[in-house]
Structure 1
Amino acid sequence: MAFQPDLALPAAADAIQSLAEIANRQGLARIVLLSGRGEEGALEAERRLATFEGEWTVVRCSWFSQNFSETFLADQVRSGEVSLPVGTMREPFIDARDIAEVVGAALMDAGHAGETYELTGPEALTFAEAVEAISAALGREVIYRQVTPGRFRERLLADGVDRELADLLVELFSVTMDGRNAAPADGVERALGRPPRSFADYALQTVREGKWAV
């Protein structure tokens, strides 16, 4: 289960409980919840998931590597400048391919019931270092600029991002980008028995797929 746009929203916990109750009535055997790493609001949704009578697994994630190539940030990369309200805080970006494999294993294989997996990449990078890795993979300059939350919101709106989502993104950056998620976790290795993909690997794969082509 994945709640859009984020489990931090007040309505999320009720929605997760409703889905768990429907799953109980339908006799589902397993559920996996995509949760937020370091998000207090997501914890209540996790607690509600426990009302599911079958096997449940929680997968906690923070920043997806693919945020740079499949959201508003893709256009910023193409423009040659990524601007966010984040300074030297580090984030162990997680490749969405690893998330998909962990979720698939939890749904299809035994041994994951009741587990909470915190999924991260193998190393913590600053956002400037992540953009440098993207620039190196592309073979052209992409710069990183730290901006104020207000400037960030203005750019989101100018880029056509919905106002409610823009406000949520500003709030999430203000709350979770304080270093609480900086330490890499072992969830991918625990679930799959292998290390997670690196951010550099993600950047090279994304270039091969042409997602940042101008």
Structure 2
Amino acid sequence: MNTQRIYLVKHGETEENLQGIHQGRAVGGRLSERGRADIRWVGACLAAAGVTVDQLLVSPMSRCRESAELLTAALAPADVRVDERLAAKDSGHLGGQPRELAAAEAARHGVPIHRLRTPGGESSEDVQARYVDLWDEVRSGARRTTVLLGHGGGIACLLLWLTGNGFDRYLQHVPGSAGVTCVEIGGPAPRVRLMNVSPADLPVLLHSRSAR
């Protein structure tokens, strides 16, 4: 059986991240200078490791589309498409607000911020369901190497599902900006070869674990 690899990549750092803004879907986001450099580095590392990308699926948010353009320049994937299932969590009225407001509202409701569901917004379970739906579609397809470029919350939700963990472990599964995960599919169960690796650590781990 041929091994299929699925890479999960979080978008690069944004200017709004630096300003302490909770983006959600209300703010598309603009990559910071560091964010652009990190994504370029990720693309260069994957290319140097011989990764050939068959398809790149991207969140519709501008911070992800900008990241995708930078990855595409390095990796030249055969197919690049926006997929709504990779979108950021709908945080309702908290989107675009200072992060402290979201934290304060979660505290008033007595829940961690990642479990907060605003009126008309999504829960983390909702986000997990659509990320898992996309995952199942990709893994059942014929493409050998896929990159899913999305958001920290969505990637964390998917990793919880893949590793059999509950939402009490959510924070331990959130990637940093431009963090990279590699999952291999070729046996009875998916195998996480790399998880939330930072751009700085990526070259060594890519080669040492042959995640290409």
Same fold (TM over 0.5): no
Higher relative contact order, structure no. (Cα contacts within 8 Å, ≥ 6 residues apart): 2
What TM-score results when the alignment is normalised by the length of structure 1?
0.33
Greater fraction of residues in strand: 2
